[in-house]
Amino acid sequence: MKNKATKSIICFCRWTRKNYAVFNSLGKQIKIGVLATSLSLVTLSAQQASAEANTAQASEREHEDNPVPIDEVTVTGDKALAIAEPARVVALISRDDIKRAAVQNIQDLLRYLDGADVRTRGSNNVQADISLRGGTFDQTVVLLNGVNITDPQTGHYSLDIPLNLEDVQRVEALQGPGAWRFGAATYSGAVNIVTSAPDRSAASAGLTQGMYGYRAYSASGSFAARSLRAAISASKSRSDGYATNTDFDVDNVYAQVRYATRKSGVLSAQVGYQSKDFGANSFYTPEYLQQHDRTRTLLSSVRYSVEKGRWGLSASLYHRQHYDRYELFHANPPEWYAGHNYHRTDVAGGLAQLTRLDKLGTSAAGFSYRYEHIYSSALGEPMQEPIAVRGEDGSNAFYTREKRRDHFSAFLQRTLHVQKLHITLGVMAAGNNEFGFRAYAGGNVAYDLSAAWQLGASANNDYRLPTFTDLYYKVGSYRGNPSLKPEEAVTGELTLRYRRSSWRASASAFYRYGYRIINWRLNPSDNLWYSQNITNVATSGVNFYAEHAPLRRFFKKIAIGYSYLYAMPGDGEETASYVVEQLSHRLAVTLQHGVWSKLYASWHLQYRQRAGSYKPFNADAKTYAEVTPFEPSYLCDLKICWEDERCSIFAEATNLLNLTYLDFGNIPQPGRWVKAGIVVKF
């Protein structure tokens, strides 16, 4: 222990949760150099904001003998009020992984997430769908610092997140359902993107250039005082496109502020804005090559948390607005073309949670409300009076339809720790103004086989509401269905985890039975796709992940992950899309190593075999060929970087082998794409 000039600041070099650890009893601001960490998706704390965006909360016993070095951070605290769920499977992309990845945006970064399936239409943060454990893109919840920003219009827009990659501290993924305390129903899982809170006043600027006219600019600044932290960043990226009508222009602005005192608690806020204009060649149908999309996203949230003795309270409010102008013809439209589609969704809500720590564990209760509304020229129910689309010219720029939904949920959760046994039980009541109320329950059990090994099991059920697109979409060959019902599923899972020193490994197997699954099915009689509640889909899979991260070796990290998924749809559902297009095999290998002095290299290799098939489209003949299975893809990314405290210079290549591959039918992905850049810190 080393005393600073200010008496309330105490500095530690290492910290664990041993019985003799003094952190929980000091009641002061603590500066930590090495902290045993776990993840905020599996550890909830009423004092979580004391360390939010700085570090994850400490796990109950997982790293007692193996503390993990992290960047020096400052936290405040009395006692951590945690709800640990040790039986759950969580994947993580750390800050070091982000710096070494051959990516420039959130969308491409998520490809590195173990067990995740990221299907790209447009490259470089233009548009992508993310799914976990064989679910669809609408069955995965996306969170930003714990705030549910999932788009109710369609999951295609859930990754419209206004962040510069430098803003991101880590990415977490909870595999499977049960993230009720975030006010969200997570049918197949949740992805939480956690931003960095500044620990000092600083500034940086970056420039990147690459093939296909790619250029990116970024700048950020931060301020840090004893109780106040603030940061702002801005970025711009553009490209001429790797093929016809694949150009893009993306702008991001993001700011956050945090005020914390030991007595008064923590108040934090964030606000972000994103603008995208991009060519959407064959995005939704291969029959029209001049599709174009323009989106705008504005989000904000405020959160307050306080901890008094064994009690903790947290509350948050949030809002997200998303605007979309979809053009079937960007230029020279035919006479029959009625005009573009316009959509504006507004999502607002609030969450409140109360926790109490006792000798056996933690109890928690929470309540959430979420408002969803859409104005549209195509989705929803007819309006009595059309509303002009703000910022658009032309006689056809009107919202003629709208729809509103209100969601309520409340949960109770209890976690017990009895020697080596850990038990979590929870129940949630969730309701909607259209679909009524239902109750959901789940539980996790874990047993410490030794200091390094842990065996766990869990069972949960959850649900997913139809999106506005599922209900009302009617464009081209697709027809929505206003009579859709929510889909539900029951999931069981077994896990085995190992953690000791610089080694970490996990193995898991799960089975999910879903019923009334929402999906698009092709009707051969009229060759149209209809949104329907498929009778059932049974999905099973296994996942294995292992990594070795020595601190002072030539190899900085070696990791391998493999997942296998199998989905069995109901009889006659082979003509359904998405549900049976999961990655049946995914093998990923990561290798990070030094080259010389401050120069290092990072390799990421993936083998992916997608289930399902598609019909290749002949643009010249305007005809579809016979059904064709997806071919396996082999991807290799490489980043070489020289870095010191003030500057980093890098070169990277994605799809280094320049292979042709598809994430969606009839949308070829980019070949080799080389970029180089520099980031200067002030």
* Phi/psi of residue 472, nearest 5 degrees: -130, -5
CATH of the domain at 350: 2.40.170.20
Confidence class for position 136, pLDDT limits 50, 70, 90: confident
Whether residue 202 contacts residue 60, with contact meaning beta carbons closer than 8 Å, is answered with no
pLDDT tens digit string along 316-359? 999 999 999 999 999 889 999 988 999 999 999 999 999 999 99
d(CA 218, CA 678): 10
Verify that 82 and 172 share a domain, yes or no. no
pLDDT of residue 183: 66
If you average pLDDT over residues 284-298, what whole number do you get? Answer: 93
Name 464's bridge partners: 487
Whether residue 253 contacts residue 162, with contact meaning beta carbons closer than 8 Å, is answered with yes
Count of the separate structural domains present in the chain: 2
| Run of H or E residues at 25 | helix 23-26
Verify that 78 and 144 share a domain, yes or no. no
Domain assignment present for 95: no
Verify that 67 and 26 share a domain, yes or no. yes
Verify that 73 and 210 share a domain, yes or no. no
pLDDT tens digit string along 435-472? 888 899 999 999 999 999 999 999 998 889 999 999 99
Whether residue 255 contacts residue 221, with contact meaning beta carbons closer than 8 Å, is answered with no
Q: What is the DSSP letter of 148?
A: E
Verify that 61 and 160 share a domain, yes or no. no
pLDDT of residue 90: 77
Q: What is the 3-state secondary structure (H, E, C) of 169-227?
A: EEEEEEECCCCHHHCCCCCCEEEEEEECCCCCCEEEEEEEEECCCEEEEEEEEEEECCC
Does residue 203 register a pLDDT over 60?
yes
| pTM of the model as a whole | 0.86
Does residue 640 register a pLDDT over 60?
yes
SS3 342: strand
Verify that 71 and 136 share a domain, yes or no. no
Verify that 380 and 519 share a domain, yes or no. yes
Verify that 518 and 577 share a domain, yes or no. yes
Task: Provide the residue range defining the domain that includes 20.
Answer: 2-86
SS3 651: strand
CA distances from 182 to 44, 313, 465, 576 (A): 10, 14, 16, 31
- CB within 8 Å of 67: residues ≥ 6 apart: 14, 15, 16, 34, 35, 36
Confidence class for position 21, pLDDT limits 50, 70, 90: very low
